Chains A and B, each alone.
Chain A
């Protein structure tokens, strides 16, 4: 495999695992995330040379513009940066809701738009959003904000896929089930380990790992999936077939 792929959220969890996997397959990667040290750690685990790092906050449009200006042409972009916060409906406030919608929906959208406007996405390239079963397929108590953001993502990929089809640019999403990643480890205060263990038993194949997402992501970003666009692939260890 060859070409250059931009990975957001490459400083931890799923984004880190995707970056490592893509490097092993021979891609050059552009890693972005807020924490430079963690991005450098990801880089230290990767194969090959010529990967680059852009450290910054994708909620800042100046950073998006700067990175889109400086970046070399891309064969793909994988939006894996995401945040979650569980709050019962009546405790949700505008500030928390904005934070989640900004990071999970608006930032990846405006980054994609900037890359397209600056003609950094080559024809035949692939745009992939790491989404969720939460929102598009299932609901769970307390997960309203995250579910709203992921349902929106699964909506926009269909429109983008149509608008970009002339350029043979493909746009897809992975609706992942519970992946016990850094996003959970770092931010979860409301679910105890006992509750997580009980929840994992509801998954026929158990909770997923970041590497499970990385395998599917590397397929969807490659030319091996050249007739797949506007699709959401469910990756949930059998959870939603029950």
Chain B
């Protein structure tokens, strides 16, 4: 399965319903977003499960900082 960073960012922003995210750079910290809370984390994990059939643990995701690191985690799990 191929997923580009741009596609991933699109899905990410849809999941937490934050349009501002589309302007984010790969090295932006997603946890520092103003709209980020524990429900955002749950939404992202659910999105990755639904779109890619991959279960990512909250513990693992919270160790990451940037969108690119999360994208890499996804690619390594596919």
- Report the bound CA distance from A86 to B46 in whole Å: 9
Contacts of B48-78 to chain A: CB distance below 8 A: 49-50, 55-59, 62
Against B, the Cβ 8 Å flags (1 = close, 0 = not) of A86-118 are: 111001010000000000000000000000000
A98: min CB distance to chain B, Å: 16
Chain B residues packing against A (C-beta within 8 Å): 38-39, 41-43, 45-47, 49-50, 55-59, 62
**Bound complex: CA of A190 vs CA of B62, how far in Å?**
10
Tell me whether A189 and B38 are in contact (CB under 8 A). Answer: no
CA of A190 to CA of B38 in the docked complex: distance in angstroms?
9
A-B contact pairs, 13 of them (CB 8 A): A87-B42, A88-B39, A88-B46, A93-B50, A142-B42, A190-B42, A190-B45, A190-B58, A191-B42, A192-B58, A192-B59, A192-B62, A193-B59
For residue A166, CB closer than 8 A to chain B, the reply is: no
Tell me, in angstroms, the Cα distance from A230 to B39 when the chains sit together: 35
Interface size for A (C-beta < 8 A) is 15
Q: Which residues of A contact B (CB under 8 A)?
A: 86-88, 91, 93, 141-142, 188-195
Inter-chain contact A91/B58, CB cutoff 8 Å: no
Distance (whole angstroms) from the CB of A198 to the closest CB of chain B? 8
Please state if A86 and B42 are interface contacts (CB–CB under 8 Å). Answer: yes
Determine the distance from Cα of A129 to Cα of B43 in the docked complex, in whole angstroms: 31
Q: A141-B39, A142-B39 are in contact. Are A91 and B46 (CB under 8 A)?
A: yes
A188 to B45, CA, bound (A): 12
Chain B residues near A93 (CB-CB < 8 A): 50
